[in-house]
Amino acid sequence: MERSPFALTQHPFSFSSSAESDGGVQLSIKALGDFTRGVAGLRPGTRAYLDGPHGVFTPDRNEGPGFVLIAGGVGIGPLMSMLRTFADRDDRRPCLLIYASRTLDDATFLEEIGQLRGRLDLTTVLVPEVPPEGWTEESGRIDQALIRRHLPPRFERMQYFVCGPPPMLDAVEATLAELGVPAARVHTERFVFV
């Protein structure tokens, strides 16, 4: 990448590693453009300049009796960071993960999510837009009816973390407001600088 640390390009990414990790940081990056495609070709030891972290998309600042994590596509990255952190801290507060992807093959971390269910009080709801043949679980898009079907009792007290494409974020925020979830309990991460 051989760029100056003072270059004016910005590429916001989220951590997907545990906050308790001593082995460095992990970012999950989907190849969507020239820059993100080039990242995949970097070799270990390549110098990179990082700035941040920016924002407060963390449960550490938003305590609650449990968490509802809603991801769309690559938005699973920062939510994986939270799940990995909960596991490393032996945090057994209940977590509901609703994870939408185009297909199940497009979904990342599925094997690890399955393993984390053994270490956490974790319920997962996979939502492929295009389900495989014979799929009998949720499919399509995340909407109010789907969210309502899976919310736990006293869901208004939970903390909500939502990350994914902007239209999904807008729809989920509106849905949670309609369901009576206080806005102060809804935290979104958008992959843009404002």
Q: Residue 30: pLDDT above 80?
A: no
Q: Is residue 15 part of a domain?
A: no
pTM for this prediction: 0.78
Is the confidence at residue 25, as pLDDT, over 80? Answer: no
Q: Does 100 reside within a domain?
A: yes
| Total domain count, the chain | 1
Lowest-confidence region among 29-38, 125-134, 164-173: 29-38
**137 within some domain:** yes
15 vs 188, more confident = 188
CATH (domain of 117): 3.40.50.80
> How much is the mean pLDDT over the chain?
82
| Residue 9 lies inside a defined structural domain of this protein | no
d(CA 58, CA 186): 11
Radius of gyration of the chain (CA): 17
Per the structure, the complete domain to which residue 91 belongs is given by 59-189
Sign of CA dihedral 99, 170, 121, 108: positive
Length of the chain: 194
**Average pLDDT over every residue of 31-38:** 58
CA dihedral 28, 192, 87, 24 (to 10 degrees): 50
What number is the average pLDDT over the span 160-174?
93
pLDDT band, residue 170 (cuts 50/70/90): very high
For residue 14, tell me if it sits in a domain. Answer: no
> Sorting pLDDT into bands at 50, 70 and 90, what band is 71?
very high
